[in-house]
Each structure stands twice: as C-alpha cells, then as structure tokens.
C-alpha cells in the first residue's frame, strides 16, 4: 500500500524512501516541494529526475482527501468544506477569511466520542481518528482551493484533539516547523473539552500554542449532563491542568463558555465563574473568557440565551475585571459555526 507522505515526519520519510533517494540535498528538495511550494503531485517536482518522480509516485501519495462539497456563506464569505477520505468517510473543515489574516478551523477526528449534547459532531457519534497527514492536508487543500495564504489554525472542527493526541501533536510540530508549515505559535489554538493528562502532556511539550478549554459550566453535575464522556475529569482538575499549561507556556488561555438559555446563563452562574477564575488565576489579562452564544443544532433540546442575558453575563465578568469576549458566529447560514459540524 502506498503511504501518505504527509503522514510521515521528515526523518520517517527519509527511512521510508532510502531506496529511492540517496542524497540529502534531494530530500531537501522533496520537502521544499511538499511544504513550501505545496505541490499536489510528484510530477510537479521538476528539479528531480523522472526516475525518482516515478518511484516516489509508486510508493507514496501526496493527497488522499477529496473536496466533495463547498458551501460559501452569504453573510461573511466563510466556506464550509466537506472532505471525503480514501476510505470514503466524510468530515468538515471551515475557511475563515479576514482582512488581516485567513484562518482555518480543522478537524482532528471524524465524529467525536465525547458526545456533548449541544454539539452536532457529538451527536453524530465517533467514526475514527484522522491521521497526521489528513489533519495537515485540510490546510493544503483549502489553501490551494481559495488561493489564499493561511496564517491561523484552529483545532476547533470535528473531534476532540486530546483523544487523538499523537497525530495531533505530530501535526502541531509540522505546523510550527520552520522547514514545514511555519505558522506562528500564537496563531495556532487547540480547543479541548478538558482531558487532563493530554493538557499536561501538551504543556510539557512547551510548543507555545494557545489553549482553549471548553468549560461551559462551573458545576460538575450540570457539566456532566451535557458532556457525558469526558473521562470523568472534574472542573477543579481541568482548571488545575489549564493553570499548569498557562504557567508552563505563558501563552494566552481561553476559557470557552457556551451560553445556553436557562441552563448556564444566570447572573449567579456568571458570579461563580468569575469567582473560580479569580481564585485560580488571579486577574490576568492573558486568561480570557470566550462567551459563545449557542448555535442552533438540529434536534437539540437547547436554545440560545437572549442577547440581554449574554450582555449581563459579560458585564458581571467585566465588573470582576475578567476579560470576556462574545464570539461572533461565522458561517451560521451554512452550518459552519461552532458546534454545527455534523451531518
Ligand atoms: N472538542 C473540542 C474542539 C472542537 S469543538 C472542544 O470541545 O473544545 C469547538 C468549540 O465549539 C468548543 O468550544 C465547543 O464547545 C463549541 N461548540 C460545540 N457545540 C456548540 C454549539 N452548538 N454552539 C456553540 N458552540 C459550540
Ligand atoms: Fe466533541 Fe468538542 Fe463537540 Fe464535545 S464539543 S462533542 S468534545 S467536538
């Protein structure tokens, strides 16, 4: 079976291709075509001999995903891509254009085992992990399709990155590497539902990328009702891990909080969240709360909070000197907003 080149680190590729390429400078040329020039076919590697190109294409593939659907938002030009994998499974990624820099919101799994009740990915069950190559290829395919440079990556699409730790870590290293994607660490954000050992391991890697923790509640029983499978980590343990990450990396930490009507959006919830954050992080402008108005998900029992309760919630945090932003939904008309990446 042919290997996906993007699945391999540079040293793994050097081992896998040792019978095809015998000189270091030729390996360097291959990596330039793959990561810098983003060539989609070995035929494009014009400075390599025909013999090497043929042998590479007999043993490796450069692309395994196919774009099967592309929906463009009339509101904000966000694009929702549906990809099909070589084994005929589909999943989504989102292109988020902006004046200053374009970002992509990519998937780490097909479906998600956490099964959050407010999230359409969670409701669609779990199929499988994406490989390192499939994670990275989303960015290359979107860049090629939009002809736009991508300078920001959000691990906020389908799936829980912490459940696919090794592939996600390898992809992160490739994104950061000067010899590969070379995206700035402050432009990469990984969002997690709070898988404590993974947060700590990632902190020890000290990659400097930004972490977002999906908290959504300050009460363990209430949280468990909407996030059934997070391996039983308590809010205290999750905040401990987030604190560890923050201290170790000194990079911005975001606490994500979906506001769901009459569930977690009362002034008392806001006061409790403020107290928790003040107690654990003191007041630090690098620790911010992202308030996410609940995005509509079919067959979900939940409703979005009213604009008034959202404002009130935010003001309570502000009065406690906690930086809080209300996240504007992007691509809501094409179901590309947070939590809407389901089938
Ligand atoms: N599994 C990771 C990353 C993917 S979800 C996580 O849960 O953090 C990305 C973000 O979308 C998370 O903060 C998640 O809570 C949020 N989200 C899920 N469903 C949503 C919905 N219906 N409305 C608004 N945000 C939602
Ligand atoms: Fe999975 Fe995140 Fe959706 Fe929960 S919110 S089901 S963890 S993708």
What CATH number does the domain containing 33 carry?
Answer: 1.10.150.530
DSSP string, 100-113: S-EEEE--SEEE-T
* Domain boundary pick from 61, 81, 107: 61
Say if residue 66's pLDDT is above 80.
yes
* Domain boundary pick from 27, 42, 61: 61
340 closest CA partner among 143, 78, 53, 35: 78
CA of 122 to the centre of ligand 2 (A): 5
In a domain, 227, yes or no: yes
Q: Are residues 163 and 47 in the same domain?
A: no
Query: Which two three-digit tokens encode residue 115?
Result: 């099964």
What is the number of the ligand closest to the CA of 300? 1
Query: Which two three-digit tokens encode residue 269?
Result: 């919830």
Residue 80, helix vs strand vs coil: strand
Burial class (CB in 10 A: 0-12, 13-18, 19+), 3: middle
Q: How far apart are CA 30 and CA 25, in angstroms?
A: 9
DSSP string, 262-323: TTT-SHHHHHHHHHHHHHHH-S-TTEEEEEEEPPP-TT-S--BPPHHHHHHHHHHHHHTT-E
In a domain, 123, yes or no: yes
What percentage of the chain carries pLDDT values higher than 90?
Answer: 87
Residue 258, helix vs strand vs coil: strand
In a domain, 342, yes or no: no
Q: How far apart are CA 116 and CA 160, in angstroms?
A: 11
Q: Are residues 77 and 32 in the same domain?
A: no
Determine whether the shortest distance from the Cβ of 180 to ligand 2 is under 6 A: no
Residue 102 phi/psi, 5-degree rounding, is: -95, 145
Contact 226, 216 (CB under 8 A): yes
- Report which protein residue has its CA nearest ligand 2's atom 8: 159
In a domain, 325, yes or no: yes
Q: What is the pLDDT of residues 108-151, one digit of tens each?
A: 999 999 999 999 998 889 999 999 999 999 999 999 999 999 99
Helix boundaries (H) for the chain: 10-16, 24-31, 50-59, 120-123, 132-146, 165-176, 196-205, 220-226, 235-249, 267-281, 307-319
Residue 327, helix vs strand vs coil: coil
Q: Are residues 154 and 20 in the same domain?
A: no
What is the number of the ligand closest to the CA of 339? 1
Q: How many CB atoms lie within 10 A of CB 341?
A: 26
Q: Are residues 94 and 57 in the same domain?
A: no
191 closest CA partner among 251, 247, 255: 255
Say if residue 300's pLDDT is above 90.
no
Q: What is the CATH number of the domain that holds 304?
A: 3.20.20.70
Determine whether the shortest distance from the Cβ of 119 to ligand 2 is under 6 A: yes
Strands 66-72 and 79-84, bridge-based pairing: antiparallel
Distances (CA, A) of 229 to 89, 118, 125, 127, 162: 23, 13, 12, 15, 13
> Tell me, what's the pLDDT at 196?
97
Atom number, ligand 1, closest to the C-alpha of residue 293: 24
Q: What pTM was computed for the model? A: 0.96
In a domain, 91, yes or no: yes
Q: Are residues 100 and 32 in the same domain?
A: no
> Tell me, what's the pLDDT at 304?
94
In a domain, 341, yes or no: no
Contact 26, 48 (CB under 8 A): yes
Confidence label for 259 from pLDDT (cuts 50, 70 and 90): very high
Confidence label for 94 from pLDDT (cuts 50, 70 and 90): very high
Determine whether the shortest distance from the Cβ of 194 to ligand 2 is under 6 A: no
CA of 2 to the centre of ligand 2 (A): 32
Task: Name every residue whose Cβ is closer than 8 Å to that of residue 19 and which is 6 or more positions away in sequence.
Answer: none
Q: What is the pLDDT of residues 155-168, one digit of tens each?
A: 999 999 999 999 99
Q: What is the pLDDT of residues 15-43, one digit of tens each?
A: 999 999 999 999 999 999 999 999 999 99
Q: How far apart are CA 143 and CA 149, in angstroms?
A: 6
Q: Are residues 171 and 200 in the same domain?
A: yes
In a domain, 343, yes or no: no
> Tell me, what's the pLDDT at 270?
98
Q: Are residues 159 and 277 in the same domain?
A: yes
* Domain boundary pick from 24, 45, 61: 61
Mutate to test the pocket of ligand 1, among 122, 300, 326, 339 (most ligand atoms within 8 A of CB): 339
CA of 60 to the centre of ligand 2 (A): 33
Q: Are residues 23 and 99 in the same domain?
A: no
Say if residue 13's pLDDT is above 90.
yes
- Burial pattern 139-170, b for ≥16 Cβ within 10 A else e, equals bbbbbeebeeebbbbbbbbbbbbbbbbebbbb
> Tell me, what's the pLDDT at 129?
98
Q: How far apart are CA 182 and CA 184, in angstroms?
A: 6
Q: What is the pLDDT of residues 180-198, one digit of tens each?
A: 999 999 999 999 999 999 9
Number of domains the chain contains: 2
> Tell me, what's the pLDDT at 26?
98
Distances (CA, A) of 48 to 5, 32, 343: 17, 12, 43
Say if residue 230's pLDDT is above 80.
no
What is the number of the ligand closest to the CA of 118? 1
Determine whether the shortest distance from the Cβ of 258 to ligand 2 is under 6 A: no
Q: Are residues 25 and 71 in the same domain?
A: no
Determine whether the shortest distance from the Cβ of 160 to ligand 1 is under 6 A: yes
184 closest CA partner among 152, 141, 138: 152
Which is more confident, 285 or 63?
A: 63
Average pLDDT over residues 195-214: 97
119 is catalytic: no
Give the DSSP letter of residue 260. Answer: B
> Tell me, what's the pLDDT at 241?
96
Confidence label for 179 from pLDDT (cuts 50, 70 and 90): very high
CA of 293 to the centre of ligand 2 (A): 16
> Tell me, what's the pLDDT at 203?
98
Instruction: Name the catalytic one among 105, 116, 119, 338.
Output: 338
Q: Are residues 148 and 222 in the same domain?
A: yes
Q: Are residues 92 and 55 in the same domain?
A: no
> Tell me, what's the pLDDT at 339?
81
- Report which protein residue has its CA nearest ligand 2's atom 6: 122
Domain that holds residue 158: 66-334
Q: Are residues 200 and 149 in the same domain?
A: yes
Q: What is the pLDDT of residues 265-294, one digit of tens each?
A: 999 999 999 999 998 877 788 899 999 999
In a domain, 313, yes or no: yes
Determine whether the shortest distance from the Cβ of 256 to ligand 2 is under 6 A: no
């Amino acid at each position: 079976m042919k290997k996906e080149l993007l699945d391999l680190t540079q040293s793994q590729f050097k081992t896998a291709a040792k019978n095809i390429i015998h000189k270091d400078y030729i390996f360097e040329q291959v990596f330039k075509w793959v990561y810098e020039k983003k060539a989609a076919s070995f035929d494009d590697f014009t400075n390599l001999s025909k013999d090497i190109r043929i042998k590479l294409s007999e043993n490796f593939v450069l692309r395994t995903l196919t774009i099967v659907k592309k929906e463009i938002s009339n509101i904000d030009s966000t694009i929702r891509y549906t990809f099909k994998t070589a084994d005929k499974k589909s999943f989504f990624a989102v292109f988020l254009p902006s004046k200053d820099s374009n970002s992509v919101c990519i998937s780490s799994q097909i479906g998600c085992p956490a099964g959050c009740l407010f999230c359409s990915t969670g409701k669609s069950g779990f199929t499988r992990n994406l490989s390192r190559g499939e994670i990275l290829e989303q960015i290359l395919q979107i860049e090629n399709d939009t002809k736009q440079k991508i300078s920001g990556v959000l691990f906020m699409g389908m799936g829980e990155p912490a459940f696919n730790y090794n592939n996600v870590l390898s992809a992160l290293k490739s994104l950061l590497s000067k010899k590969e994607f070379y995206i700035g660490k402050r432009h990469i954000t990984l969002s997690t539902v709070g898988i404590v050992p993974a947060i700590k391991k990632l902190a020890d890697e000290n990659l400097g990328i930004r972490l977002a923790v999906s908290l959504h509640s300050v009460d363990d029983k209430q949280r468990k009702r909407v996030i059934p499978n997070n391996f039983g980590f308590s809010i205290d343990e999750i905040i401990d891990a987030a604190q560890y990450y923050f201290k170790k990396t000194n990079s911005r930490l975001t606490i994500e909080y979906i506001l769901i009507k009459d569930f977690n959006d009362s002034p008392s919830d806001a006061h409790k969240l403020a107290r928790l954050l003040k107690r654990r992080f003191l007041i630090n402008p690098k620790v911010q709360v992202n308030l996410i108005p609940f995005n509509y998900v079919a067959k979900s029992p939940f409703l979005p909070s009213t604009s008034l309760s959202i404002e009130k919630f935010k003001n309570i945090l502000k009065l406690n000197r906690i930086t809080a932003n209300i996240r504007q939904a992007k691509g809501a008309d094409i179901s590309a907003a947070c939590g809407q990446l389901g089938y």
